[in-house]
Amino acid sequence: MADSRRDFFKKAAALTIGAIATSTVVKSAIVTTNFLEKEILPIDGGKFTLPALPYGYDALEPHIDKLTMEIHHSKHHQAYITNLNKALETVDGNVLGSPQSLENIFNKMIMMPTAVRNNAGGHYNHSLFWQLMSAKGGGEPKGKLAEAIKTQFGSAEEFKKQFNDVAMKRFGSGWAWLVKTKDGKLAIGSTANQDNPLMILPEIEIKGTPVLALDVWEHAYYLKNQNKRADYIASWWNVVNWEVADGLYNS
Ligand SMILES: [Fe+2]
């Protein structure tokens, strides 16, 4: 289990590099290095830091507005990182292990304080969320993921309908997920707060490799859509980066 999870993180990192390298928006290698070294891979006892977005704050307009993206990334995501670093200071080094990593934190989540759970989740979830959107996103699913969606759900339309339903029914704040389970199937589910399908906790029902992640906290859409979560979800489909999702599915 540990090996497969480690493989996932490595592949996710490699995928991100590939996605960024082929992007017409991002040209800086610093972004790639930042994401790889500061988030997915061990940080050698250092601090977690905010990764640069792989596109500009206005890149997802008109679907996701610039101000929301700026506040979401520079304020909300930054706050999770700041609070994660602070919370980790309270955790015994033997529990954290060395080098520190989000993978290790998620594996040992049951031993971590709530502040680590909330903020490590917030850091990972948002980091993934940014990568799963693109100015050139939207449209239909791609690659083997498209085939799997059609096989399992009948059509992309039916899949989106079920995903939307789960995202709408998440009470309060949380995330909607498409994951690949350990038996290779696709599964749709949601988590509360900043929990995610990688955390080893008995109360988290959806487990597996994240393929899609949708933030349904109000901070993700309130400025533009106010209380209309359905409008935000409909807009989000226009920016989904299916190439990254397909890469995660194949990892
Ligand atoms: Fe968020």
Q: How far does the centroid of ligand 1 lie from the alpha carbon of residue 219, in Å? A: 6
Enumerate the H helices of the chain as residue ranges. 2-21, 29-35, 66-71, 78-88, 93-96, 102-107, 114-131, 143-153, 156-169, 222-225, 229-236, 242-249
Is the residue at 136 inside a domain? no
CA atoms within 13 A on the CB side of 90: 11
Comparing 251 with 106, which gets the higher pLDDT?
106
Report CA dihedral (231, 235, 241, 247) to the nearest 10 degrees: 20
Q: How many CB atoms lie within 10 A of CB 3?
A: 7
- Cβ atoms of 48 and 105 closer than 8 Å: no
Q: How far apart are the CA of 242 and the centre of ligand 1, in A? A: 20
The tens digit of pLDDT for each residue in 77-98 reads 999 999 999 999 999 888 887 7
> Domain range for residue 185?
143-249
Q: What is the CATH number of the domain that holds 50?
A: 1.10.287.990
Whether residue 168 is found in the same domain as residue 127? no
CA–centroid distance, 67 to ligand 1, in Å, is: 13
- Residue 44 included in any domain: yes
Compute the distance from residue 94 Cα to the ligand 1 centre, in Å.
31
Report how far ligand 1's centroid is from the alpha carbon of 218 (Å).
8
pLDDT digit string (tens) for 197-250?
Answer: 999 999 999 999 999 999 999 999 999 999 999 999 999 999 999 999 998 898
> At residue 239, what is the residue type?
V
Among 35, 30, 29, 1, which Cα is nearest to 15's? Answer: 35
150 and 122 within one domain: no
Are 43 and 102 in contact by the 8 Å Cβ rule? The answer is no
Residue 169 has pLDDT above 90, yes or no: yes
Q: Cα(44) to centroid of ligand 1, in Å?
A: 27
User: How many A from CA of 202 to the centre of ligand 1?
Assistant: 24
State the distance from the centre of ligand 1 to the C-alpha of 76, rounded, in angstroms: 7
Q: Are residues 164 and 45 in the same domain?
A: no
- Kindly state whether residues 90 and 149 are assigned to the same domain: no
Q: What angle do CA 176, 211, 187 make, to 5 degrees?
A: 65
Q: How far apart are CA 217 and CA 193, in angstroms?
A: 8
What pTM was estimated for this model as a whole?
Answer: 0.85
